[in-house]
Amino acid sequence: MIFNLRTKKYTEEKDGRLLKFLYNNIIGRIILKLLTMKWLTRLGGCYMNTKLSTRRIPKFVTKNNINMNEYIDEEYKSFNEFFIRKIKDDKRPLPSDENLFISPADSKLTVYPIDDETVLSIKNSKYTIEEIVGDKELVDKYKGGYCLVYRLCVDDYHRYFFIDEGKIKKQYKIKGKFHTVQPIAFKKYKVFSENSRECTILETVNYGDIVQIEVGALMVGKIVNHQLKTFRRGDEKGYFLFGGSTVVLLIEKDKVIIDEEILKHSKEDVETRVLLYDVIGRKK
């Protein structure tokens, strides 16, 4: 179940026939093992960079009900070029008040308080924060704070941005397998701890040290982060190539007050639909 923060309406996400076959059928599971091999993931990624792949765009737009009027009008040379299309500035206005805690991306958001017992229940699978980050000592610093999981699907805007001004303290990569981040995958695999991911420790002006993790997905194999040392609020951090993907943020204790409506729905295992720069809390 997904709650839309803007419309205040609920919707239910459904899995496609192909994903049901891949994750629920014995033959499909065998095919899935092949699909998640890195060489095949890279091959699929190469196809998405070809002119031939543009044939998929019209059907994709219709199937996912994408409003192309929100995006800059241009001729795409590949499906991946379309997938990382840029949105018009006036469609995602950046709030001027730096005390407002904003979303880094279009996504479905779940927020978890961090303590010794924290287990992330994400679409029928369980994960510890340590499994996702890969660093227990680092996680200990964030006890009493929040873990925010932003799940991007194929119909979302796939560029993500910095939520505050600051500088990069550390970056590292964690290798893994690539699975879809659609709901059906969570029934079979620990998707977030298996998928490849990139971790960045951000030293921010208003919210202390934030850990940001980007998670790759089936047929992506590619997280593209810009090589920056410093950044401003609203600067683009990077983007995902084709596939659903996820951004995870770890926030220190006593740095932010999260919107009560979002916290309420998170406790009920209901994701909240948010758009880039939507206000989801404020500085404490």
How large is the average pLDDT for residues 170-184?
67
Give the residue among 133, 157, 154 at the shortest CA–CA distance from 238: 157
> What single-letter DSSP state applies at residue 71?
B
What is the distance of C-alpha 86 from the center of its chain?
A: 17
pLDDT digit string, tens, across residues 218-237: 554 488 999 999 999 999 99
**33-37, 210-214, 219-223: least confident range:** 33-37
Domain ranges of the chain: 8-83, 94-283
CA distance linking residue 197 with residue 83, whole number of Å: 19
How large is the average pLDDT for residues 170-199?
65
- Extract the tokens encoding 257: 């007050």
More confident residue, 57 or 13: 57
pLDDT digit string, tens, across residues 105-162: 999 999 999 988 888 765 445 778 887 787 888 888 999 999 999 999 888 999 999 9
Can you count the helices (H) and strands (E) in the chain?
9, 18
Bridge partners, 223 (sequence order): 240
More confident residue, 120 or 200: 200
Confirm if 182 and 192 have CB atoms less than 8 A apart: no
Active-site amino acid positions: 106, 245
Record the pTM: 0.84
119 phi/psi in degrees, rounded to 5:
-130, 125
pLDDT level of residue 71 (50, 70, 90 thresholds): very high
- Extract the tokens encoding 167: 């500088």
